[in-house]
Amino acid sequence: MKHFALIGPLLLVLLLAGTTAQAQVSRDSWLTDQRAFRVGDLVTVLIVESGSGSTNASTNTKREDGLEVGVQGGGGPLAFVPEITGSADTKNEHKVKGGNSRSGSLQTRMMAEVVAIDPDGTLVLQGSRVMEIDGEQQITELSGRVRPEDVNADNTVFSYLVAEAVIRYTGDGLVRKAQRRGVLGFVFGWLL
C-alpha cells in the first residue's frame, strides 16, 4: 500500500513538470502539432478565387453664351437714324456616360514547392501545372508566401491565406487561336 501512496504525488509532479516544459517548447519541436517544413517540401494549394469589379463614369458639361446689342434713335435733328437692336445666343451641352464590369472565378488545386524559408519561418511557395487536352493547354502558375501555421494537418492551404499571391491561369491552343480575329475578320467587323 505504501507504494501506491507514493505513485499519486509522483505522477502529479511529473504532470506539472511536463506542462511547464511543454509551454517552453519551440514551434519546431516534436511535441507541437505543427510540422517542420524544409526547402523542397510540397504543399497542396486549394485555389478558391473569385473577383468582380465595375467602374462607371459620366461627364456632363454645359455652356451658354448670350449677346445683346440695342441702340435707340437720337432725338431732335437725328431722329431719322433708325433704332438698332440685336441679340445672339449660343448653347453647348455635352453628355457622356460609360461603364465597365468584369468578373471571374477560379477553383482548382495544385502542388507548390517550398523554394525558400524566410528567417521568421514563412514558407515561400512556387508551383506550376500544365494540362493538355486535345491540343489545348491550360497553364496554372502560383507563387507567394504562407505561414506554416496556416497549412492544415492534411498538408493543404487555401489560396486566400497565401500572402503576395500571384496566380496565373492561361490557355493556349486551337480554341484560343480560333477566338482571335484575323485581318479580314477585323476589316469585315469594322465595315459592319
pLDDT band at 51 (very low <50, low <70, confident <90, very high): confident
One-letter amino acid at 107 equals: Q
Per-residue pLDDT averaged across 82-109, rounded? 76
Is residue 148 classed as helix, strand or coil in its secondary structure? helix
State the DSSP string of 115-144: EEE-TTSPEEEEEEEEEEETTEEEEEEEEE
Report d(CA 147, CA 123) in Å as an integer: 6
- Which residues make beta-bridge pairs with 113? 42, 126
Per-residue pLDDT averaged across 84-113, rounded? 79
Give residue 133's pLDDT.
85
User: Domain segments of the chain: what residues?
Assistant: 32-51+101-179, 60-99
Above 50 in pLDDT, residue 27? no
Give residue 79's pLDDT.
63
Average pLDDT of the chain?
A: 75
CB atoms within 10 A of CB 72: 10
Query: CA dihedral defined by 144, 150, 153, 157, rounded to 10 degrees?
Result: -40
Above 80 in pLDDT, residue 50? no
pLDDT 10s digits, 98-108: 777 777 778 88
pLDDT 10s digits, 110-145: 999 999 999 999 999 999 999 888 888 889 999 999
